[in-house]
Structure 1
Amino acid sequence: MADTQAGYRRSTGTPRGNARRDELLELVTDDLAANGLADFSLRRAARAAGTTHKVLLYHFDGAEDVLAQAVRQLRQRRIDKAALTAIAERPTLAERVAEIWPILIGAESAVLSQAMGLAMQDPVRYADLGREATGQYIPVLKSLCPTEWSDERKTGVSQMILATMRGFLMHRRVTGDEEGPETGLAALVRAIEREEAAGE
């Protein structure tokens, strides 16, 4: 993966500059979703965005920054899709978690798993790819919890859901076993049902 350092000043945050940056990031994210992290570089990102690496260096801090921003954007797409589906379709947290699973194993799964692997493999450079994932997921999971729960309880249950589903996703990705995670998900849903039945 290229480690090009920024040689140009970044956008100063003007509305026009921000709009252009967002446009470029959307195109790079589309490429990342389609082609994964392998051989990612600033030049590949520039080709995907229909521009030059110099233009990207004006808006971003280099290849690692572009990658991190694109991973974050891809993850947010997944989160938005999952949250909308869960809230719209089901009334309880257990049912909402069950609705989320098919989205989590969807098109973005492979790339986001690669990003987590990169964070574990090279934490000095890419630890934020893992830390930011938790920061993105937990608030959404808390929003799916019963409104009468305390913030502490929402946080604890959300942490449990996130950690458990991450385990299922990793197992599925590494082993190719689809039945095991489905069985585990059913057990997780039952555990959440018991938590909800326990009341405040």
Structure 2
Amino acid sequence: MNTPADDSPKPPTYRRSAGSPRATARRRELLDRVTADLATNGLVDFSLRRAARAAGTTHKVLLYHFESADDLLTQAILELRERRIGNALTAMAAPELHTLADRVRAMWPILLSDKTGLRVLDQAIGLTMYDPARYATLGREASRQYLPTLLAICPPHWSEQRRLEVSWMILATLRGFLVEWLTSGDTTGTTAGLEALLRALEREESAES
């Protein structure tokens, strides 16, 4: 697997952004541009130079606002995940959805709709497994980002432990389905698996608390 090139100076020789309102706005602008490039072109062969071209600036400016190429890559991937989570939350907020199974069913097509963005996030998980010392944050943050959303859609009367168990089951299962769908294109298999997950959630909700 080709990993993103780490072509930033070591140690960094440029002073960090001090966090002023102007610097914060500029950092946001740069991150949005790099995130857009990542969503379109993926993260294979990602580098600080490529990011600078996408952002219309120089690598020195990027290193003023971000610690390194890896830091910029991580922030862009976190941003992509946040957008997907936001879209999923919108879908699950529909007033006609009352059960956990209904909400997960509504979330699934949203997760599938952005195939390019999904492929980037799948590549990020691959990086985590390929080089955990360097990219462990990408794997940890994936779960930290998604779990609060899943916990929030569980029935409020459930115990904290029960909500955590079911949320992890949903997260791990959907993640597996998405990887299978991306790598094999087997929509029949993933659809069948999703229906089995939904039935399991219906049984879980119908069980006595």
State TM-score, norm by structure 1. Answer: 0.96
Give every structure 1 segment of 4 or more consecutive aligned residues whose post-TM-superposition deviation is greater than 6 Å: none
Q: Match of 2:113, SS?
A: coil
Q: Give 1:2's aligned residue.
A: 5
Deviation digits for residues 47-74 of structure 1 (CA, Å, limit 9, x no counterpart) = 1111111100000011111100000000
Q: Give 2:90's aligned residue.
A: 84
Summarize the alignment of residues 34-73 of structure 1 with structure 2, pairs less than 5 Å apart: 34-73=40-79
In 2: Cα distance, 1:179 partner to 1:86 partner: 23
Name the aligned partner's letter for residue 122 of structure 1: D
Which has the higher mean CA deviation after the structures are superposed, 156-165 or 44-53?
44-53
Q: Give 2:178's aligned residue.
A: 169
**Partner residue of 1:98 out of 105, 113, 133:** 105
Q: Match of 1:148, SS?
A: coil
Summarize the alignment of residues 1-200 of structure 1 with structure 2, pairs less than 5 Å apart: 1-3=4-6, 4-5=8-9, 6-88=12-94, 90-107=97-114, 108-200=117-209
Aligned residue pairs total: 200
State the Cα distance separating 1:177 from its structure 2 match: 1.1
Name the aligned partner's letter for residue 30 of structure 2: L
Asked if the contact 1:87/1:144 (under 8 Å) is kept, the reply is no
State TM-score, norm by structure 2. Answer: 0.92
| Unmatched tracts of structure 1, length 5 or more | none
Name the % identity. 58
